[in-house]
Amino acid sequence: MEPVASARTTKRLPLVKIAESKLPTPFAEFRITVFRAADDKEHVIVSLGDLANGEPPLVRVHSECLTGDALFSLRCDCGFQLQSALATIAEAGRGAVLYLRQEGRGIGLGNKIRAYALQDHGRDTVEANHQLGFPADAREYGLAVDLLHFLGVQKIKLMTNNPLKVDALVTHGIEVTERVPVQSGLNPHNESYLRTKADKMGHWLTLP
């Protein structure tokens, strides 16, 4: 866990709450809340416990990954990270996963699979995105700030390996009191992908 700084800005995105319910899982019984944002997509908070009071809660800002989260793909570590975050939050008794609909680091499912095809022919994940005309990471995190404000949370323990995610939340006014590593799911199919994230994107990863 690493302490980091905080900053503030006024940027906000409009949100509309759509629905809320219990969400029993193998890890714990969470609360699921669905919002529609300005991008006309439905984004989700999966939360446990009273987050507005007490010490900063554990928070995972997780971008949608259909292949990893739902189809058990071994090409990435997304599904493993999501399950690890839910298990860690359940063990702590408090926390939240903010599930943002930013598939493929913001380029969409179809383009992600196009990038996979390029990786099948020797490109790494950054080179594939660039060849398709996209940045290495096209995600935006102002929405995560609005979701945290809905929860009444201004300070968090952020579960991430991504320095850009820390910087984005801090720039949007969230105080990140600790960084909690979320490293899991290393396998022969994603080792090169994870190494590229570490070497080219600066992710905090410990690899063999």
Q: Is 60 within any annotated ligand binding site?
A: yes
Active-site annotation holder among 94, 139, 146, 179: 139
Q: Is 16 within any annotated ligand binding site?
A: no
In angstroms, the Cα distances linking 59 to 28, 156, 182 are 16, 6, 11
Active-site annotation holder among 69, 137, 146, 179: 137
Query: How many CB atoms are located within 10 Å of the residue 202 CB?
Result: 12
Report how far residue 158's alpha carbon sits from residue 101's, in angstroms, rounded to the nearest whole number: 19
SS3 34: strand
Q: Is 12 within any annotated ligand binding site?
A: no
Q: Is 104 within any annotated ligand binding site?
A: yes
Question: Known catalytic residue: 120?
Answer: no
Q: Is 81 within any annotated ligand binding site?
A: yes
**118, 158, 141: which is closest to 13 by C-alpha?**
141
Q: Is 180 within any annotated ligand binding site?
A: no
R_g over Cα of the chain: 17
Q: Is 94 within any annotated ligand binding site?
A: no
Q: Is 73 within any annotated ligand binding site?
A: no
Question: Known catalytic residue: 139?
Answer: yes
- Could you tell me which residues come within 8 angstroms of residue 82 by beta carbon, excluding any fewer than 6 positions away? 60, 62, 65, 68, 69, 97
Q: Is 160 within any annotated ligand binding site?
A: yes
For 29, the token pair is: 């019984």
Q: Is 105 within any annotated ligand binding site?
A: yes
Annotated binding site for GTP: 60-64, 81, 103-105, 125, 160, 165
Annotated binding site for Zn(2+): 65, 76, 78
Annotated binding site: 60-65, 76, 78, 81, 103-105, 125, 160, 165
Q: Tell me the catalytic residues.
A: 137, 139
